[in-house]
Structure 1
Amino acid sequence: MAAMLAFAGNSLLCRWALRETAIDPASFAVVRLVSGAAALALLVRPCGVTGQDGNWRSAIALFAYAAAFSFAYVQLSAAVGALLLFGVVQLTMVLCGLVAGDRVTGSHVAGLSAALAGFYVLLFAQGGANYGGLWAQVLMAAAGVAWGVYSILGRQSTHAKALTRGNFIRAAALSATLLPMVVRQWQWDPLGLALATASGALTSGAGYVVWYSVTPRLRAIQASTVQLSVPLITAVAGILFLQENLVVNQVFGGLLILGGIALTFKH
Structure 2
Amino acid sequence: MLIKIGIAMLAFAANSVLCRLALAGQQIDPMSFSLIRVCSGAVVLLVLYLFSAQKTKIEWSVKNGFFLALYIVAFSLAYLHLDAGVGALLLFGTVQLSMVGYGLCHGEKINMRRGAGLCIAIIGILILLLPGAAAPNLVYAAIMVLSGIGWAMYSIAGKKMQNPLASTLANFVMAIPFVLLAYAVFYTKSFALPQGMLLAVLSGGLASSGAYVLWYVIVKQIDHVTASSVQLSVPCLAIMGGALFIGEVLSWRIIMSAIIVLVGIALVIRTIPDQTHAPSTLK
> What residue in structure 2 maps to residue 108 of structure 1?
114
Instruction: Tell whether the 8 Å contact from 2:32 to 2:192 is kept in structure 1 after alignment.
Output: no
Q: Report the Cα distance in structure 1 between the residues aligned to 2:75 and 2:81, rounded to whole angstroms.
A: 11
Quote the offset at 1:49 in angstroms: 4.7
Q: Report the Cα distance in structure 2 between the residues aligned to 1:194 and 1:94, rounded to whole angstroms.
A: 36
> What residue in structure 2 maps to residue 157 of structure 1?
161
TM-score normalised over the length of structure 2: 0.84
> What residue in structure 1 maps to residue 42 of structure 2?
37
* Amino acid corresponding to residue 152 of structure 2 in structure 1: G
> What residue in structure 1 maps to residue 203 of structure 2?
199
Quote the offset at 1:246 in angstroms: 4.5
> What residue in structure 2 maps to residue 190 of structure 1?
194
Structure 1 residues 26, 251: closer, same or farther in 2, change over 3 A? closer
Structure 1 residues 250, 27: closer, same or farther in 2, change over 3 A? closer
**227, 232, 239: which one pairs with 1:223?**
227
> What residue in structure 1 maps to residue 13 of structure 2?
8
Structure 1 residues 133, 107: closer, same or farther in 2, change over 3 A? closer
Q: Report the Cα distance in structure 2 between the residues aligned to 1:17 and 1:130, rounded to whole angstroms.
A: 22
**156, 166, 170: which one pairs with 2:170?**
166
* Correspondence 1:30-109 to 2 at 5 A: 30-45=35-50, 49=56, 53-109=59-115
> What residue in structure 2 maps to residue 146 of structure 1?
150
Single out whichever of 69-78 and 107-116 deviates more from structure 2.
Answer: 107-116
Q: Does 1:239 find its partner at 2:210?
A: no
Quote the offset at 1:60 in angstroms: 0.7
Structure 1 residues 165, 49: closer, same or farther in 2, change over 3 A? same
Single out whichever of 178-187 and 6-15 deviates more from structure 2.
Answer: 178-187
In structure 2, the residue corresponding to 1:154 is in which secondary structure? helix
Q: Report the Cα distance in structure 2 between the residues aligned to 1:138 and 1:249, rounded to whole angstroms.
A: 19
Instruction: Tell whether the 8 Å contact from 1:238 to 1:244 is kept in structure 2 after alignment.
Output: yes
Quote the offset at 1:114 in angstroms: 3.0
- Report Cα offsets for 1:4-50 as digits up to 9, x if no partner: 11111111111111111331111111101000001110112486555
Identity of paired residues, percent? 38
RMSD: 2.4
> What residue in structure 2 maps to residue 211 of structure 1?
215
Structure 1 residues 171, 222: closer, same or farther in 2, change over 3 A? same
Quote the offset at 1:237 in angstroms: 1.6
In structure 2, the residue corresponding to 1:75 is in which secondary structure? coil
Structure 1 residues 231, 182: closer, same or farther in 2, change over 3 A? same
Single out whichever of 60-69 and 19-28 deviates more from structure 2.
Answer: 19-28
Single out whichever of 67-76 and 248-257 deviates more from structure 2.
Answer: 248-257
Structure 1 residues 261, 126: closer, same or farther in 2, change over 3 A? farther
> What residue in structure 1 maps to residue 181 of structure 2?
177
* Amino acid corresponding to residue 257 of structure 1 in structure 2: V
> What residue in structure 2 maps to residue 263 of structure 1?
267
Gaps of 5+ in 2: 1-5, 273-283
Instruction: Tell whether the 8 Å contact from 1:65 to 1:144 is kept in structure 2 after alignment.
Output: yes
Gaps of 5+ in 1: none
> What residue in structure 1 maps to residue 31 of structure 2?
26
Structure 1 residues 125, 240: closer, same or farther in 2, change over 3 A? farther
In structure 2, the residue corresponding to 1:44 is in which secondary structure? helix
Structure 1 residues 257, 131: closer, same or farther in 2, change over 3 A? closer
Quote the offset at 1:239 in angstroms: 2.4
**What number of residue pairs does the alignment pair up?**
264
Instruction: Tell whether the 8 Å contact from 1:155 to 1:215 is kept in structure 2 after alignment.
Output: yes
Structure 1 residues 158, 125: closer, same or farther in 2, change over 3 A? same
Instruction: Tell whether the 8 Å contact from 1:30 to 1:178 is kept in structure 2 after alignment.
Output: no
Q: Report the Cα distance in structure 2 between the residues aligned to 1:105 and 1:89, rounded to whole angstroms.
A: 20
- Report Cα offsets for 1:100-130 as digits up to 9, x if no partner: 1112223321321233334445x27996546
* Amino acid corresponding to residue 77 of structure 1 in structure 2: D
Q: Report the Cα distance in structure 1 between the residues aligned to 2:156 and 2:131, rounded to whole angstroms.
A: 29
TM-score normalised over the length of structure 1: 0.88
